[in-house]
Structure 1
Amino acid sequence: MPIRGRSSRTVVLLAMCLGLMLTMFNSTMINVALPDLGSSFHASATSLQWVATIYTLTYAAVLLLGGALGDRWGRRAAFLLGVLVFNAGSLLCAVAPALGALLGGRVVQALGAAIMLPQTLSILVHEFTRPQERARAVGIWAGVASVGLAAGPVVGGLLLSITSWRAVFVLSLLLGVATYLLARVSIPVRRHGRPKKALPLDAAGAVTAALALAALVFTLSEGEAAGWSSAVVIGTLVLSFLALAGFVFQQVRMGRRGRNPLMPMGIWRSRPFMAASLGGFAYFAVFFAVLFFYSLDLQGQRGYSALATGFAFLPMTLAMAVAGPVTGKLVVRHGAAPVMISGLVVTAVGSLLLAAADTHSTVMDLEWRLALVGAGCGLMSSSISNLAVSSVPDRYSNSASAVQNTFRQIGSTLGVAVVGIIVRGDGAGFTAGLQAGMTAVSGLLAACAVVSFLLVFRRPPRAVVAGRGSGAARVRDGRAPDSGGGPSALRRRS
């Protein structure tokens, strides 16, 4: 039976947090299981890389379509479908008899995650309509995401020390079942059911977007191994750009004809939304680069086990967990944009301090530097999500969530690829290459902080702020009267 009463929104928040935890947890927990997978299937390093890559590839390609399904079928139905698909993928992975079957299960998992994830933030936006409540709810939601990302290696290491890699997928399945049951009884049909006027699905946009994103992620993932000048890499990169150009052209044309584009181009009129997308890109670029390469450093250079490596990231995990709820309060008090920019700066400093650590640095020297990076990421996670959904009208919340998560996914792939090029291209060895890579990451974060500041706080052209009153003023500082994030100028155009 549906849960009613004042506690219902709390249960909805819990269900959305569990759904988000599934996707984040699954993204990072698999990394520590790869060596055990290789032994079980006698797979090469290249084959094992596809266990992570095929998930990222599928997930990035389907995210925009996943957001659109919520507009057509209703957020509740889309979320429940995404969880069911994810659970089916987890089951396939857990019982996979061969590597090919495991890769198929990972594709199914990614499809489910791509449908589910955009609905989590959109459901919260429509459940928590008051600015302060929304900021706190998104703060908790983002804090859970941070914990899920950073706790994956720790829990994965624990499971591998007790049993085999299959337990990683069994745990995902159990969490998925709990998420489905909780969401089914808590998400109100009245607010999140099928719209009275179901919007037509933008099939052409879905195909071109999937092609553009899949080709881009493939290029970034395989460029180092295949060679950046190889015909395959150059061909997929050109294909990505052509598909992207076709997608943008088709979306603009649909918008002008009054149809329902997959990605309403009007959201890009909001400069705070542009800043949030840039911040999401930088956030995942640094987080996944740190997680990937310091896992290699601790296990390959320092001789740590998978379990010990997982625990080495515990200070970063705790810092992200503590920063999540605190960030929600800071967003209410100061606005999402200042908090996000502060997070970019803190993470840039932490990355630069990591770059200063050398082979003589003890693990304790790394711990507090990782914790600083975790604190900065915690400040970014909640504030980026708040800024993204509150800087566009609520009817665009599904699209905004999907676009923002797409930028995060591209950032995660590009961060690992670029730092990998720097690490492997440095003739002085892995440690020196990692130092150079983290210096580059620090520079990227600093540049994103500056650009975000200019986007949000620089006075827009007079035509954009022609409307008088506090709404126009609040767009400039990243806060809007209704949400703490700033869509007033966009609303007037819409």
Structure 2
Amino acid sequence: MAIREHSSRKVVLLAMCLGLMLSMFNSTMVNVALPDLGASLHASDTSLQWVATLYTLTYAAALLLGGALGDRWGRRTAFLLGVLVFSAGSLLCTVAPDMGLLLGARAVQALGAAIMLPQTLSILVHEFTEPRERARAVGAWAGVASLGLAAGPVVGGALLSFTNWRAAFALTMLLGAVTYLLGRRSVPVERHGRPDGHRTLDVAGSAGAAITLAALVFALSEGENAGWSSVRVLGTLALSALALAGFIATQLNKGRNGRNPLMPMGVWRSRPFIAANLGGFAYFAVFFGVLFFYSLDLQDERGCSVLAAGFAFLPMTLVMALVAPVTGRLMVRYGAAPVMISGLLVTAAGSLLLAAASHASLAGIEWRLGLVGVGCGLLSSSISNLAVSSVPDRLSNSASAVQNTFRQIGSTLGVAVLGIIVRGSGSGFAVGLQEGMTAIGAFLGVCALVALLLVRGSSGTLRTRGA
């Protein structure tokens, strides 16, 4: 019986890993497909930018709602629903005849990913309750995410070499179908079905969170094009701030009255939880900033093809995939917080070495990207583990959703701020990139110091439990 249960949990782990990989693969694959997509649909550069931006906006706005749906309907139902919605969006992308319908389909994809993703980590937390097993499971989960990020540019580039952009979306639809069938078969209803008791959905909180995050991501995305002092950007930032104030007020009020807030504010009493979200923000800021601007460097400055640029990132993304499972064992031995802080410091070192390599050969860039990959591999699962392990299990859905929200904001802000530094340099792209990577390295060092102080301040010791 124990052997059968162990085998069943492995299938659950596989289903959750595939669900996460779907989202990661989709986020990097689309960037490679944009030129072919634009030529096929006769799209302007602005429209192409919205193919990525609208996905990010919808995804960020719906993440907290996705976590709440898991609490309301059950993790299993929410996971399967998210996979179905994502797969339906992929199908619509595959057959979209024009840019308008494609953008709508991308929003459907993002909504599905936002519902699905918080459930993957929460299901693992409740499925693997023993600390050592949980740390290893989250390490494998994070490793597959890195594999999805690595596969996106390479598989997308290979598909575009033989067919067109529609095949890339068709592939995500097929992967979604496999994930749905596997999840439906393996995730047990008795542990992940509808929770006991009636839980109302926080409509006001959902609206406040959606407006806050959508407005913030829009302002960060548009700041460089429209100007950071433009009425549109400043007005959207003001809207985000007002919506955030309203959101916090509604959550505090619901908590005081014993109702079910979308984001229980009590999670912010945990200093390790704050440290985990700071780490998640920094991790995605550097990862997507490096991915975006070194894609430009490799293709526009060094003359690499799209496929060659995708392969150039393999030292970073494959190292991430290889390090993430090892991170699970390190967390068992040392705890999640020390591993996360080490990851921030290693990533900072890699960023500073990249800053010193503006005239290095391609091989010189690749091994430095590999060092960044080591740091990111240490960060990926340790951040997730620290976030969900520093709050009660009943709040794991909310903790997972908040952690993914901070990662998403980090990815958008990282690209925006790095863009300001790179393009604001009066000495050209190469010098601007050097200055940008220096700033990122310094920022990561500060984040490591703050995380250390938070963890020490919470428990009097650096070590926190690994699960």
TM-score class, shorter-chain normalisation, is over 0.9
SS of residue paired to 2:263:
coil
In the TM superposition, 1:5-154 aligns within 5 A as 5-154=5-154
Counterpart for residue 488 of structure 1: none
Cα distance, 1:4 vs structure 2: 5.8
Q: 1:477 aligns with which of 437, 462, 465?
A: 462
Cα distance, 1:43 vs structure 2: 1.6
Counterpart for residue 439 of structure 2: 440
Counterpart for residue 361 of structure 1: 360
Q: Contact 1:154 / 1:313 at 8 angstroms: preserved in 2?
A: no
Counterpart for residue 395 of structure 1: 394
In the TM superposition, 1:143-222 aligns within 5 A as 143-222=143-222
Cα distance, 1:423 vs structure 2: 1.1
What do the CA deviations read for 1:231-290 (whole angstroms, capped 9, x no partner)?
A: 110100000000001101110111011110000001001000000000000000000000
SS of residue paired to 1:221:
helix
Counterpart for residue 270 of structure 1: 270
C-alpha distance in 2 between matches for 1:374 and 1:151: 15
C-alpha distance in 1 between matches for 2:254 and 2:443: 35
What do the CA deviations read for 1:158-210 (whole angstroms, capped 9, x no partner)?
A: 11112111111011001100000000000000000111213110000000000
Counterpart for residue 301 of structure 1: 301
Q: Contact 1:41 / 1:99 at 8 angstroms: preserved in 2?
A: yes
SS of residue paired to 2:109:
helix
Counterpart for residue 409 of structure 1: 408
Q: Contact 1:86 / 1:112 at 8 angstroms: preserved in 2?
A: yes
C-alpha distance in 2 between matches for 1:4 and 1:78: 25
C-alpha distance in 2 between matches for 1:243 and 1:77: 29
Counterpart for residue 376 of structure 1: 375
Q: Contact 1:71 / 1:198 at 8 angstroms: preserved in 2?
A: no
C-alpha distance in 1 between matches for 2:21 and 2:269: 31
The two structures have a TM-score, normalised by structure 1, of 0.93
Counterpart for residue 451 of structure 2: 452
Q: Contact 2:299 / 2:306 at 8 angstroms: preserved in 1?
A: yes
C-alpha distance in 2 between matches for 1:260 and 1:58: 24
Counterpart for residue 491 of structure 1: none
AA matched with 2:370: A
* Stretch deviating more after TM superposition (296-305 or 200-209): 296-305
Q: Contact 2:142 / 2:321 at 8 angstroms: preserved in 1?
A: no
C-alpha distance in 2 between matches for 1:4 and 1:54: 43
AA matched with 2:281: F
C-alpha distance in 2 between matches for 1:84 and 1:192: 18
What do the CA deviations read for 1:380-406 (whole angstroms, capped 9, x no partner)?
A: 001000000000000000000000000
Cα distance, 1:478 vs structure 2: 4.5
C-alpha distance in 1 between matches for 2:436 and 2:6: 49
C-alpha distance in 2 between matches for 1:291 and 1:102: 24
C-alpha distance in 2 between matches for 1:427 and 1:479: 46
C-alpha distance in 2 between matches for 1:313 and 1:426: 25
Q: Contact 2:425 / 2:431 at 8 angstroms: preserved in 1?
A: yes
What do the CA deviations read for 1:299-352 (whole angstroms, capped 9, x no partner)?
A: 111111111111011111221011011000000000000000000000000001
C-alpha distance in 2 between matches for 1:454 and 1:150: 33
C-alpha distance in 1 between matches for 2:317 and 2:405: 23
C-alpha distance in 1 between matches for 2:95 and 2:356: 44
Counterpart for residue 231 of structure 2: 231
* Stretch deviating more after TM superposition (19-28 or 155-164): 155-164
Counterpart for residue 328 of structure 1: 328
C-alpha distance in 2 between matches for 1:26 and 1:318: 17
C-alpha distance in 2 between matches for 1:479 and 1:436: 35
What do the CA deviations read for 1:361-381 (whole angstroms, capped 9, x no partner)?
A: 110010100000011000000
Cα distance, 1:6 vs structure 2: 3.0
C-alpha distance in 2 between matches for 1:173 and 1:147: 18
AA matched with 2:464: R
C-alpha distance in 2 between matches for 1:329 and 1:348: 23
C-alpha distance in 2 between matches for 1:342 and 1:324: 13
AA matched with 2:462: D
Unaligned runs of 5+ in 1: 461-471, 486-494
SS of residue paired to 1:7:
helix
AA matched with 1:296: L
C-alpha distance in 2 between matches for 1:438 and 1:301: 17
Two-structure CA RMSD over aligned residues (Å): 1.2
C-alpha distance in 2 between matches for 1:81 and 1:311: 34
Q: Contact 2:334 / 2:463 at 8 angstroms: preserved in 1?
A: no
C-alpha distance in 2 between matches for 1:45 and 1:192: 44
C-alpha distance in 1 between matches for 2:173 and 2:438: 39
Counterpart for residue 314 of structure 2: 314
Counterpart for residue 258 of structure 1: 258
Q: Contact 1:387 / 1:478 at 8 angstroms: preserved in 2?
A: no
Cα distance, 1:155 vs structure 2: 1.4
Counterpart for residue 420 of structure 1: 419
AA matched with 1:186: S
Displaced runs of 4 or more, over 4 A: none
AA matched with 2:223: G
SS of residue paired to 1:392:
coil
* Stretch deviating more after TM superposition (271-280 or 151-160): 151-160
Cα distance, 1:146 vs structure 2: 1.5
Q: Considering fraction of residues, name the structure with more helix.
A: 2
Q: Taking every aligned residue pair, what percent have the same amino acid on both sides?
A: 75
C-alpha distance in 2 between matches for 1:216 and 1:66: 19
* Stretch deviating more after TM superposition (399-408 or 305-314): 305-314
C-alpha distance in 2 between matches for 1:124 and 1:194: 17
Cα distance, 1:68 vs structure 2: 0.2
* Stretch deviating more after TM superposition (104-113 or 191-200): 191-200
How many corresponding residue pairs? 465
AA matched with 1:238: A
Q: Contact 1:73 / 1:198 at 8 angstroms: preserved in 2?
A: no
